Structure 1
């Protein structure tokens, strides 16, 4: 399948660069190689506030590992693909229907993006135990594993609205940053993650 570029000129790349590392003391750091474009609400002129975060995360993943818009699907193309794959019933196209990690994984394969391997974590409290496994398969996200139980994940929040000028602006506003696993995730909620490989 082909995808039309879904970004504006001036899209920000590699927005984690320059971000101070969290934690204290020695830690093990896993970083992605390659480049990505940061996609967020409205970055292409479409007002998708309240429903587009899954699409924007998918677009960021599709831009990796080369940091180019080639192969990054527009929102309408994602909706059409999910209907065509019979993952969603007719009516998703042109709607404000959201998508999640499972749909993103299907679309990564459909649009020829990096290969995603879904991982279901039934309770946030179990996420800490998944970090070692995620660390060994890490590619599309970053994680910092510190001494003891201190563990962090890099979050690129797609909920940003507006026209950020540079990565420092995103970092200062908290749209891009390290989050401690023990406090950033609800211990009673479930999470679906995607582990990527190029």
Structure 2
């Protein structure tokens, strides 16, 4: 997609081509007016003559055919060696291919990375993966004893520490209204959903 200040968006290409084809401008004048090379102006004018305004859209730069692509039997052999847990460099050495070619074949086939499957079985590891955040939430609760100001029974003596055993509620208050006994509960929630 062209950026906002590009001289030749689809509309700009049509304007350039109409100046050359319909208004009869010379290519050099149209190229100067639209601040592009003469060869670019010629390309868009020729495409406008052949296809009209529909030909001004961007096209894929992917080739229509790849005559030098690795043959299918060789690709099958690369994938067969991958099942033996070999990397692209070792596969390439065995087959006499560059490691980059083996890597491209493995990537095109969607082969898992060597670090992804289980080492013992070579099967893909099942993970807790969900489509959207919030699909899988893990909640954990940690119970922490309330320690009074100034420390617990180690600093205040065992009589202070025995008060926790006799408390009837989770939280009790002392004469000043502060929390003295019982427990504090820490809640933790983790969102385990993983999106791709």
Structure number with the higher helix fraction is 2
TM-score by length of 1: 0.18
Structure with bigger RCO (C-alpha 8 Å, 6+ apart) = 1
